[in-house]
Amino acid sequence: MVKSIKDTITLNNGVEIPQHGFGVYLITDEKNGYEAINKALEVGYHAFDTAQFYENEALLGKILSESNVKRDELFITTKVANYNQGYDSTLSTVEQSLKDLHIDQIDLLLVHWPSKRRFFETWKAMEKLYNEKLVKAIGVSNYEIHHLEELAANSEIKPVIDQVECHPYLTQEKIKEYADKNHIAFQAWSPLGRGAVLNDPIIRIIAEHHNKSSAQIIIRWHLQKGNVVIPKSSTPSRIEENANVYDFSLTEEEVKIIDALNKDERTGDDPDALWFQM
């Protein structure tokens, strides 16, 4: 059972990832960045999820490098943007990401979205970066089962993780089952459904019963299901609230009740729709 925000999951290459991290999408303003990221550190977050596409690697890198948390206690994930996919451009832009993040090794590098045209080129470059120890682990994001199968059949290194949209209205049971079977960790992006799930009446009832907020119930649900989770907020009180999920547990029945809210409803893009365009 998850006990603290410092709990980790061991990836298939032995690297440990904190199960509960902080997403920084849309945190681009310097003043808000300092306030939000320093608050996240203060309440115990050590894992941060950024991307080339978010245009905040340099801000995150600056704030983390100025903090008093040691580099080896931090876990930094970034992602190769769709427009940077390809062999040479992956190598050169990840070099820039390292500089922007003020680090000499990325903890976890992901392909942001599967690209039909550059699928293997990007992965080959990521395998090279992994072999050269510029990244500790490589994984994917927004990969459906067929993308994972295609990658497994044609690559040397297996992804450690698949980061996909997942929340009570999109539980992704099939991908999760495939990932579990194949020793690929399962990570949930937009774990709160970008706020859309917070007003669900069933979640509200469970929240009232535990004297917790809807956001806390949903984060706890992810953690108890074994999902790696990266909620985002730029409001200090909510950042603290979202970290404060270790003094209660959901019953197995409550977890099942939340599972049953699934309606396969996305808040973001369908990876297959993008795949055919890219």
When binding is defined by CB under 6 A, the residue of 198, 202, 257, 278 that contacts ligand NAD is 198
How many C-beta atoms lie closer than 10 Å to residue 143's C-beta? 27
When binding is defined by CB under 6 A, the residue of 5, 140, 191, 222 that contacts ligand NAD is 191
CB-wise, 68 or 237, nearer to ligand NAD? 237
142 binds ligand NAD (CB under 6 A): yes
231 binds ligand NAD (CB under 6 A): yes
CB-wise, 195 or 208, nearer to ligand NAD? 195
Least distance in angstroms from the C-beta of 103 to ligand NAD: 17
CB-wise, 62 or 232, nearer to ligand NAD? 232
To the query of whether residue 34 is one of the catalytic residues in this protein, the response is: no
Cα 208 from chain centroid (whole Å): 28
Least distance in angstroms from the C-beta of 257 to ligand NAD: 20
Token pair of 163, please? 């980061």
Binding residues for substrate are: 112
Cα 55 from chain centroid (whole Å): 17
When binding is defined by CB under 6 A, the residue of 90, 115, 190, 227 that contacts ligand NAD is 190
Options 25, 34, 54, 178, the catalytic residue: 54
Within 8 A by CB and 6+ apart from 46, the residues are 5, 6, 18, 21, 69, 73, 74, 75
Least distance in angstroms from the C-beta of 262 to ligand NAD: 16
Least distance in angstroms from the C-beta of 132 to ligand NAD: 24
When binding is defined by CB under 6 A, the residue of 175, 192, 206, 243 that contacts ligand NAD is 192
The candidate with the shortest Cα–Cα distance to 269, out of 49, 50, 112, 34, is 112
- Residue number, nearest CB to ligand NAD: 23
186 binds ligand NAD (CB under 6 A): no
- Taking CA 247 as the corner, what is the angle to CA 242 and CA 248, rounded to the nearest 5 degrees? 95
Site string for ligand NAD, 53-92 (x = CB under 6 A): ----------------------------------------
For the four alpha carbons of 181, 187, 188 and 189, in that order, the dihedral sign comes to negative
Assign residue 100 a region: left if phi > 0, alpha if psi is -120 to 50, beta otherwise?
A: alpha
For the four alpha carbons of 214, 219, 223 and 225, in that order, the dihedral sign comes to positive
Instruction: Report whether 203 contacts 3 (CB < 8 A).
Output: no
268 binds ligand NAD (CB under 6 A): yes
18 binds ligand NAD (CB under 6 A): no
Residues within window 95-114 making contact with ligand NAD, judged by CB under 6 A = 112
Least distance in angstroms from the C-beta of 93 to ligand NAD: 16
Q: Catalytic positions, please?
A: 54
Binding site for ligand NAD (CB under 6 A): 23-25, 49, 112, 141-142, 163, 189-195, 198, 213, 215, 230-233, 238, 241-242, 268
